[in-house]
Amino acid sequence: MRGKLFTASAMGLILPLACLAAPALAQSVPDEPGSEEVGEAPNAIIVTAQRRAQSLTEVPQAVQAIGGEALKELGVEQIQDVIALVPSATIGSTISVGSNTFQIRGVAASETDGDPTVGFYLDNFAFSMPGRPYAPATDFYDLNRIEVLRGPSGTLYGLGSLGGTIKLLTNDPDLDEVELSTRISANITDGGEPGGGGDVMFNVPVSTGKVALRGVVSYKMIGGFADNIATNKDDANDANAFTGRVKLRAEPTERLMVQLAAWHNRSNQDYSNRITIAEPPLLNQTFGIADSKFTLFTGDIEYDLGFATLMSTTGHIKNTVVVNNGGFIPGIGDFTNFWPLVTKNFNEDLRLASNPGGPLNWIVGVFYQNGETKGGQSVALPDFTVANQVGLATFNDNTIKSKAWAVYGEATYSILDGLADLTLGGRYFEEKRTFIENSSITLIEAGIEVPTVGTDRAKNNTFNPRFNVSIHPTDDGMIYAEVAKGFRSGSITSSSIISGANTALGTNFDNSSPPDTLWNYEAGLKWSFGLMDVSLSGYYFDWKDAQIELSPTLQSIVVPIGDVKGRGVDAELSWRTPLDGLTLQAAGNINKTELRDVIPQVAAALPWLASGSQLPGTAKKTFSATASYTADVGNGWDLKVNGRYSYRSKQQSVFNGAYAPWNGFGSARIGFGKDDFDIAIFSNNIGNSGRPISKPGGQNQVPYPRTIGITMEKSF
């Protein structure tokens, strides 16, 4: 039996933190024009949200930045845990480590198909899988910081940043110092197998002050916890993950920087993260694997021209996600599923940014992408009834190709001796998509197979402006207002699947859709009151002809079904308490994100998508709180105590309207550190909650059970 989430006394300690907030603990200065001009204040948090180095308090936008050291102290090692700290952000779906979807500010669209509504960056490389919404699988060891931009970032980040952007920024090589660090950890799992892992980082100056090499290797073993009733195997869903990353940096002159990087990430899991029965966690799968891997090569060049810095980021990624499994799903019956996906993507981002000095800051750039995703989901559903026939099988081995380019620019002008800043920006985007279809639908009982082979093409473009004004009445605060437009690529879906969906719904959807566009209107403030920092933002967005994933025949299509109107408030506060070493932080959101003017046939067949409903995949309320305490205990040792709690209200599945209940999770870490050595014990999911986080695909995504472990790290 799993324990209650929290005792009443524990809740009594947590709830008062609702009036505190704001995770923002980045601590190092990035390589961007102007980085030497900022970050001198002891508590300065430096980010590159506007593609130039700024103190977080000077960015007129809803941005969170959490430094790698802060993430380590909190025990955060994956993007899912970061999402739990971001107001309005939630997990939409998961199949495996390489197939997670997220939403920010209620801009949710899909669980498995369509382009993402959140943009992802690995350092300066724009990660994407044409036609798929999945986030990258990453490891956080030797991470510099994570930046999360809430709201559309269509001007500077463009493709896919409809609801927000997540930037994962790793440490660059140090040109002067030899560094070596290693970490090992081990844990036991409530009702499951033990786990653990190891990490190593090295930094070697090849030519002091000129050339250096930095590398990271990480390996993790994740114990299984769900018993498989189909095979009688206990703790069947165990997994392992490997990450390798290396950077070579050269600064041959004061003006020139060249950096080459290679990443490799691989994860392998038995069965998948979709659990048949939530409590206790049970699988009903006769076979299954959920694997992912990617290899990424990037090159960054920066050259200081005096008046501006010319920057280029070039990258190529090959990303493979494979989910093959079979078994039984309640309400659907027996199934077999084969879902291999291979993405190749080449990016070039060339930009020129002004150097600091004077009232005008600006950036102009050109972006190019050439990518494709090959594969698809082939499923056999012998118990499913469609067209008055029992049994359905589909085969998909399709290819989506995307060739896109964009030009963008943004300028900020400071007036009235710095009292106000005016920002104007825009991005023109054009894309050609090609859909090469090789698919079929089979009615098993009738023995009828309908193959579809052919090529569809679509060409789309959009212009996305941004207007922002910020006022700085004192050095301690600012208020701002913004109007911005975001976009994501239009979908192209299998003709055979669209045909089946139209038959089931009585609709006339085309298999090609124009780009999604969203207008966001926002006002906010950031203020410091001595030991307390406050950030508030209110927003309203208008998402016309929103493309939402539907599954009327258990096969997904992504089509415009109506409009979405969203409004909400984010609150962030941080309190450096009078008790030396104690900091309390938290963040929260409340919103109403409604479907409007939904196509009547869709609303009739899928009532959870009716007009006036909260958009599935979103939660009306989110809240998180963290507490950190450090104290000198003598002989050079420091006591370090950290805790975090996250809450998300109930959330509905776009697949079938099933609700995942509200959920809350607490984690804690207590350790000691001295010079270059740290040791800590930790516990994640302290209350051992097993309630589903989401209910994708008619199944359950459940939290990992309570773990208790120990971690040790040594630097040399």
Lowest mean per-residue pLDDT among 32-36, 182-186, 332-336: 32-36
Task: For 149-160, write each residue's pLDDT tens digit.
Answer: 999 988 898 777
Percent over 70 (pLDDT), the chain: 94
Does 700 have pLDDT greater than 80? yes
Task: For 222-272, write each residue's pLDDT tens digit.
Answer: 999 999 999 999 999 999 999 999 999 999 999 999 999 999 999 999 998
Mean pLDDT of 636-646: 97
Element (H, E) at 603: helix 600-605
Does 18 have pLDDT greater than 90? no
Please give the pLDDT value at position 43. Answer: 55
Which residues does 179 contact at the CB level (< 8 Å), separation at least 6? Answer: 201, 202, 203, 214, 715, 716
Please give the pLDDT value at position 6. Answer: 32
What's this model's pTM, rounded to 2 decimal places? 0.92
Please give the pLDDT value at position 44. Answer: 62
Please give the pLDDT value at position 195. Answer: 97
DSSP string, 525-572: EEEEETTEEEEEEEEEEEEEEEEEEE-TTSS-EEEEEEEEEEEEEEEE
Give the 3-state secondary structure of 442-475: EECCCCEEEEEEEEEEEEEEEEEEEEEEEEEEEC
**Distance (Å, whole) CA 343 – CA 626:** 37
Task: For 81-110, write each residue's pLDDT tens digit.
Answer: 999 999 999 998 888 888 889 999 999 988
Q: How confident is the model at residue 40 (pLDDT cuts 50, 70, 90)?
A: very low
Does 699 have pLDDT greater than 80? yes
Closest CA to 563 of 515, 531, 595, 524: 595
Neighbours of 124 (CB within 10 A): 23
Lowest mean per-residue pLDDT among 12-26, 407-421, 582-596: 12-26
3-class state of residue 8 by DSSP? helix
Which residues does 398 contact at the CB level (< 8 Å), separation at least 6? Answer: 374, 375, 376, 435, 436, 437, 438, 439, 494
Please give the pLDDT value at position 399. Answer: 96
Please give the pLDDT value at position 98. Answer: 80
Region of residue 355 (left: phi > 0; alpha: psi -120 to 50; beta: else): beta
Closest CA to 585 of 627, 530, 632, 535: 627
Query: 217 - beta bridge partners?
Result: 200, 244
Does 631 have pLDDT greater than 90? yes
Neighbours of 37 (CB within 10 A): 15
How far from chain centre, in Å, is Cα 673?
31
DSSP 8-state secondary structure symbol assigned to residue 511:
S
Please give the pLDDT value at position 31. Answer: 54
Does 682 have pLDDT greater than 70? yes
CA distances from 35 to 345, 355, 365, 400, 477 (A): 30, 10, 19, 40, 21
Does 471 have pLDDT greater than 70? yes
Does 203 have pLDDT greater than 90? yes
Mean pLDDT of 520-524: 97
Lowest mean per-residue pLDDT among 286-295, 435-444, 563-572: 435-444
Q: Any idea which residue has 């506060």 for tokens?
A: 573
**And the tokens for 637?**
């040792």
Please give the pLDDT value at position 54. Answer: 83
Task: For 483-496, write each residue's pLDDT tens digit.
Answer: 999 998 888 888 87
Lowest mean per-residue pLDDT among 125-129, 152-156, 398-402: 152-156
Task: For 264-283, write each residue's pLDDT tens digit.
Answer: 999 999 998 899 999 999 99
Does 25 have pLDDT greater than 60? no
**Distance (Å, whole) CA 387 – CA 450:** 13
Query: 364 - beta bridge partners?
Result: 352, 409
Q: What is the mean pLDDT of the chain?
A: 90
Closest CA to 362 of 371, 351, 373, 372: 351
Neighbours of 631 (CB within 10 A): 14
Q: How confident is the model at residue 67 (pLDDT cuts 50, 70, 90)?
A: very high
CB 427 within 8 A of CB 463: yes
CA distances from 223 to 13, 270, 276, 512, 642 (A): 31, 11, 18, 42, 24
Over its C-alpha atoms, the chain yields an Rg (Å, rounded) of 25
Neighbours of 525 (CB within 10 A): 16
Does 1 have pLDDT greater than 70? no
**Distance (Å, whole) CA 114 – CA 133:** 6
Does 148 have pLDDT greater than 70? yes
Does 640 have pLDDT greater than 90? yes
**Distance (Å, whole) CA 71 – CA 65:** 10
Q: How confident is the model at residue 32 (pLDDT cuts 50, 70, 90)?
A: low
CB 238 within 8 A of CB 204: no
Across the chain, which distance is largest between two alpha carbons, in Å?
80
Please give the pLDDT value at position 552. Answer: 87
Please give the pLDDT value at position 554. Answer: 79
Task: For 107-123, write each residue's pLDDT tens digit.
Answer: 998 888 899 999 999 99
Please give the pLDDT value at position 698. Answer: 85
Q: How confident is the model at residue 597 (pLDDT cuts 50, 70, 90)?
A: very high
CB 293 within 8 A of CB 299: no
Which residues does 49 contact at the CB level (< 8 Å), separation at least 6? Answer: 59, 61, 63, 147, 149, 167
Q: How confident is the model at residue 349 (pLDDT cuts 50, 70, 90)?
A: very high
How far from chain centre, in Å, is Cα 585?
21
Strand bridging mode 195-207 / 179-189: antiparallel
